[in-house]
């Protein structure tokens, strides 16, 4: 589905980003992973090494999505090494769980820098190449928290609402240039983010409230990101594809 394409994935060392990078490589893409860490959060082989060991083509570039020069370097490196930037996945993100009046100002700012500015920086850097190339596909990782409310996560919900609207707005401006901009809106997905921050009580609540009665595996979210990046989604633009097992329709 992605043969011959070069894809950049932020936050690709762990979780959903890692699953996307591996899935893209399985579908024939060359993958450039940008993350503040090389190795996965829960230990093990780096994403780039795992892909290369399985016969794919991948490289890691250390990049912090809150620093535009590092993200520009990430994307430029992909173009220099492999000739184009066909797919940009803005995936890096963090979750915080506090009530708004108890949220330290610096925590709010940190989350917005990663979850919102990071998407702006990744999109801006990728568009420099995609507008020249005359095409491309941008896939943002939003969340169901960008669609419906979630208790105790004011900054996170606000940030994912912003990602959802950036996706729709960017699709309007860049569709005429052959660049599609879409997002995935995952529900609860079994990654380090969930294992470390979500209480068992919240996890069982989510499972019970989800028609499929379970959380997602990261690979199931990656399949959606592969579809959106691929030419199979050639007429899909400005769409936030919710993958939450039905949680948000109940």
- Active-site residues, by number, are 156
Residue 65 within binding range of ligand NAD, rule CB under 6 A? yes
Residue 108, burial from CB neighbour count under 10 angstroms (0-12, 13-18, 19+): middle
Backbone angles phi, psi at 184, to 5 degrees: -105, 140
Instruction: Give 152-213 as a DSSP string.
Output: T-HHHHHHHHHHHHHHHHHHHHHGGGTEEEEEEEE-SB-SHHHHHHS-HHHHHHHHHHSTTS
Residue 36 within binding range of ligand NAD, rule CB under 6 A? yes
Residue from the set 48, 56, 60, 93 that interacts with ligand NAD by CB under 6 A: 93
Q: Is the dihedral of CA 161, 193, 219, 38 positive or negative?
A: positive
Q: Is the dihedral of CA 91, 96, 101, 104 positive or negative?
A: negative
Closest CB to ligand NAD among 198 and 236?
198
Residue from the set 8, 13, 75, 157 that interacts with ligand NAD by CB under 6 A: 13
Closest CB to ligand NAD among 158 and 193?
193
Residue 15 within binding range of ligand NAD, rule CB under 6 A? yes
Residue 212 within binding range of ligand NAD, rule CB under 6 A? no
Q: Residue with structure tokens 């070069």?
A: 6
Residue from the set 45, 100, 192, 232 that interacts with ligand NAD by CB under 6 A: 192
Residue from the set 162, 186, 222, 239 that interacts with ligand NAD by CB under 6 A: 186
Q: Binding residues for ligand NAD, per CB under 6 A?
A: 10-11, 13-17, 35-37, 41, 64-66, 91-94, 114, 141, 143, 186, 188-189, 191-194
């Amino acid at each position: 589905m992605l043969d011959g394409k070069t894809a950049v994935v932020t936050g690709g060392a762990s979780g959903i980003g890692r699953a996307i990078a591996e899935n893209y490589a399985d579908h024939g893409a060359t993958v450039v992973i940008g993350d503040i860490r090389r190795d996965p959060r829960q230990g093990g082989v780096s994403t780039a090494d795992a892909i290369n060991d399985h016969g794919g083509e991948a490289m890691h570039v250390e990049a912090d999505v809150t620093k535009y020069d590092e993200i520009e370097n990430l994307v430029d490196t992909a173009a220099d090494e492999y000739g184009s930037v066909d797919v940009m996945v803005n995936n890096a993100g963090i979750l915080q769980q506090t009530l708004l009046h108890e949220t330290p100002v610096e925590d709010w700012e940190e989350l917005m820098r990663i979850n919102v500015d990071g998407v702006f920086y990744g999109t801006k850097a990728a568009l420099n190449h995609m507008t020249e190339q005359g095409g491309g596909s941008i896939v943002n990782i939003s969340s169901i928290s960008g669609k419906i409310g979630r208790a105790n996560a004011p900054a996170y919900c606000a940030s994912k609402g912003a990602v959802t609207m950036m996706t729709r707005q960017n699709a309007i401006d860049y569709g005429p240039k052959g660049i599609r901009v879409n997002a995935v809106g995952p529900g609860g997905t079994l990654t380090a983010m969930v294992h470390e921050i979500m209480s068992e009580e919240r996890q069982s609540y989510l499972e019970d409230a989800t028609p499929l009665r379970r959380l997602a595996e990261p690979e199931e979210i990656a399949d959606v990101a592969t579809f959106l990046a691929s030419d199979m989604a050639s007429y899909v633009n400005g769409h936030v594809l919710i993958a939450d097992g039905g949680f948000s329709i109940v």
